[in-house]
Amino acid sequence: MKKALIIGSTVCDIMIYVDKMPKTSEDEHAKSQNINLGGCAYNVVSILHNLDIPYDFISPVGQGIYGDFVKNKLKEKNIHTSIYTELTNGCCYCIVENGGERSFISYHGAEYRFNKSWLENLDLNSYSYIYVCGLEVEDKDGEELVGSLKSFKGQIIFCPGPRVKLIKKSLMDKIFEVSPILHLNEKELKELGANDDIDVSLNKLYKKIKNIIVVTCGKDGAFYFDGKIKTFLEPIKSVVVDTIGAGDSHAGGLISSLCAGNDMKKSVAFANKVASKIVSISGTDLPKSEFKELKKDLL
């Protein structure tokens, strides 16, 4: 079994369910709300953790009510990070409309910071895969994070995320230089490729990274592009409760399957199955019974 390093945020998600997003000056009542652990890296590592995939987790935890919440919840779930800082944690307000579509309002704190010293006691080349998200690259320590990846000899999996247009071009160029596997959705693909034609964007990005591009297509499943062929994997039908963490969990399923030694086709198909289960619940915490079933499909 191969090992992965997951770098990024664990966030306190305040989830608010409404019929529709209010317009400016409107008043909309929430149907319900709850508080969960979230964050792109946490959503990824939660999948690996519950599927018993070997991993290490670099996720800074800060102070304040949100930092305390994250620290206690990670302990409760037996997910370990050794990074604790004196900075204050932020939080993410997740607004979910009827139909499951979500909008985020994030206040970034300690959870989105990075320091290269956090990697000093790790042998980066003991990992087959390293996961990095665009939200951390965009933030204050993006230069330091990207610079720390240069010496890694394994495979980087980069998820640009919904704010990909805000990442500095100089940083994106440095990421492209390490030939990552890209994992993104159709909208992000068009934005990163600077073209509304999917094929044009795919070919443009492949020339830069010369590696696999995995694209999630919501209810239509997902495909991957190897520079010549787009291979489509069918979606798994499910009733959508909310889409929070769907893309992250898809990435977690992909990494888990690759670590288990599966090829890209089987890994994307497995990731589709993981994501279908995540969207069928509120939040991202699948019950143990679901992971037990997923493990049967992993090997």
Mean pLDDT of 15-24: 90
- The dihedrals phi and psi of 72, each to the nearest 5 degrees, come to -70, -40
Q: What was the pLDDT predicted at 147? A: 94
For 38-50, what is each residue's pLDDT tens digit? 999 999 999 999 9
For 83-123, what is each residue's pLDDT tens digit? 999 999 999 998 988 877 888 899 999 999 999 999 999 99
Residue 204 has pLDDT above 80, yes or no: yes
Identify the residue whose tokens are 């999948």.
47
Total structural domains in the chain?
1
Q: What was the pLDDT predicted at 241? A: 77
Q: What was the pLDDT predicted at 202? A: 97
Say how many CA atoms lie within 13 Å of 233 toward its Cβ: 23
pLDDT band at 15 (very low <50, low <70, confident <90, very high): confident
- What CATH number has the domain bearing residue 220? 3.40.1190.20
Contact 2, 261 (CB under 8 A): yes
Q: What was the pLDDT predicted at 99? A: 77
Residue 201 has pLDDT above 90, yes or no: yes
Type of residue found at 242: D
Antiparallel, parallel or unpaired: β 222-225 and 213-216: antiparallel
Percent of the chain past pLDDT 70, that is, above it, reads 100
Q: What was the pLDDT predicted at 150? A: 86
pLDDT band at 215 (very low <50, low <70, confident <90, very high): very high
Mean pLDDT of 10-30: 91
For 238-260, what is each residue's pLDDT tens digit? 888 777 778 999 999 999 999 99
Report pTM: 0.94
Tokens of 2: 């191969």
pLDDT band at 190 (very low <50, low <70, confident <90, very high): very high
Q: What was the pLDDT predicted at 228? A: 95
Q: What was the pLDDT predicted at 286? A: 85
Identify the residue whose tokens are 């994106």.
172
Running DSSP on this structure, what letter comes out for residue 65? H
Say how many CA atoms lie within 13 Å of 21 toward its Cβ: 13
In sequence order, the 6+-apart residues with CB closer than 8 A to the CB of 57 are: 5, 6, 41, 45, 79, 80, 81
Task: Choose among 164, 144, 166, 148: nearest CA to 156.
Answer: 148
For 255-295, what is each residue's pLDDT tens digit? 999 999 999 999 999 999 999 998 888 767 888 888 998 99
Range of the domain at 43: 4-298
